[in-house]
Amino acid sequence: MMPANDAETLILDLVTPVNDCETVPLENCLGRILGRSVSSQLDFPHWDNSAMDGYAVRYGDVTTVPATLTVVEEIPAGQVPQCPVKPGEAARIFTGGMLPTGADTIVMQENTQRAGEQVTVVTAPSAQAFVRKQGSFYQAGAELLAAGTNIEAAEIAVLAAAQCVAVPVYRRPRVAILSTGDELVDINQPLGPGQIVDSNRYALAALIAQSGGVPVPMGIVPDQRAATRQAIAAALNQADMVISSGGVSVGDYDYVDQILAELGATIHIRSVAVKPGKPLTVATFAQPNRQQLYFGLPGNPVSSLVSFWRFVQPALRKLSGCSSGWSPTFVWATTATDLKAGGQRETYLWGQLSLGNDGYRFNLAPGGHSSGNLVNLSRTNGLARVPLGERLIPAGTLVRVLKVGDVNL
C-alpha cells in the first residue's frame, strides 16, 4: 500500500494540464481558468484623479494655514476639467474626478470652510494627498492577469475594467464516469433483492463539476470482462480522464486492473494506505503530448468520495489548467470527541468543521463510520485525519482536517 502523501505527489506528477482554449463572453467565465495571460492598453487609473470629495489645490498654496483660495470650477466624476488651477485658486472636486492642470494635492472637504466662491483650508495637507496618479495601479502593456488564474468575482471586475468582452479560457476537461457491478440499478428503476441504487454516479458527477470538469456519465457496467473492456475503451475515446467505481479490489469479479493492462495502460498505484479507500487504481494511457489518467475508485460510497476528495480532485484541478492550489487543503481543528482508528492505515473520519473565535472545531458525524454508510456523510465538510500508526486522538486536542466543503461560523 502506498502512503497517501506519496500517492498524491505521484498522481500530480502524472497530470499534464489541458492547453487548448476557447473564448467565452465575460459574463459566462465565472469559475473558469484563464487560458492566456491578459494585458490592457489602459493605465489604471486612466488619469490623475481624486480619492476624496474636497478641493484640488496647488500644494505650495496650502503649506501655511489658514489659507483662503478662490474656487474656479466644480469637477464631478466623469467631467473633463475646463480651468487650470493657478496660484491662489482651487477647484471643487468629487471622488473620481479628474485632477485639473496645475493642481497636485487634494484637501478633503472636512478640512475646509466654504463661503461663496472662497474656500479656506484650515488643516494643512501632505503633498499629493489623496491624488491617485495615472498608472499607479497598473501600467498599460504589462501583464494584468496570468494564464492559469481561476476567474472569480474580483477577476471579472478587473477584466471588465480592461474592456475584455470575450475571455480566453481553458476548455473544461471531460471526465467519464463508469459504475461497475451487477448489483447496481438506475435511480428510476425499482429495487430487486440484493440491488442498490447507483448513487456514486451522481456524487462523482457533482464533484467533477465542482472541480472544474465536465462529467460524462457512461452508465452501469455489468460484472463481465467483455462488457468492462468495451466500456473502458469507449470512455477513453470520449474523455480526458476516466473514473470508474467498483471492480478494483481482489474479488473474483474485479476485472478493472487486468483490463487496463490489456488495453496498454501503465498502472502506477494499486492500493493506498488509507481508510476508507484502500483499493485505488491509478493508471495512464500514453497519448500525443499528454498522458490520459484513469482512476479506479472503490465501490463503497464513502470510500469512493473520500478517494475523490483526497486524490482525484487535486489531479482534476491541475488538469483544468489551474496554475497552483491543486493540493488538498488541511487545517488544524480541535476535535469535540475522541477520534479512533486502527493504526494500520491513515484514517479519515467524516464530520462537520466549524469556525469560531478560538479557531476551527471538528464534530464527528454521528452513527457508524462504515465505508458503506452513505447516510451520515450528509453535511460533511471535513475529514479528520488520524495518521498512520496512531489509534486515538483525544477530545479537546488538535487534529488535521481535510476541508471538503464550505465552513460556516
CATH of the domain at 369: 2.40.340.10
Same domain, yes or no: 266 and 368: no
pLDDT value of position 288: 81
- Is residue 27 a part of any domain in this protein? yes
Q: What is the pLDDT of residue 249?
A: 61
CATH value at residue 303: 3.40.980.10
Please answer whether residues 86 and 162 qualify as being in contact, where contact means their C-beta atoms are separated by less than 8 angstroms.
Answer: no
**Residue-number span of the structural domain to which 250 is assigned:** 4-19+173-310
Whether residue 155 sits in one domain with residue 127: no
Number of domains in the chain: 4
Which residue spans within 45-195 are E strands per DSSP? 49-50, 54-57, 67-75, 89-93, 105-108, 112-115, 118-121, 131-132, 143-145, 166-170, 174-180, 184-185
145 with 235, same domain: the answer is: no
CATH code of the domain covering residue 82: 2.170.190.11
Check residue 244 and give its pLDDT. 95
Residues of the chain with pLDDT under 70: 248-254
Asked if residue 164 and residue 28 are part of one domain, the reply reads yes
- Residue 328: DSSP 8-state: P
300 and 257 inside one domain: yes
Q: What is the pTM of this model?
A: 0.89
303 with 188, same domain: the answer is: yes
Residue 21, C-beta contacts closer than 8 angstroms, at least 6 positions apart: 35, 36, 168, 169, 170, 171
The predicted structure's pLDDT at residue 248? 65
| DSSP letter, residue 160 | H
Distance separating alpha carbons of residues 342 and 347, to the nearest angstrom: 8
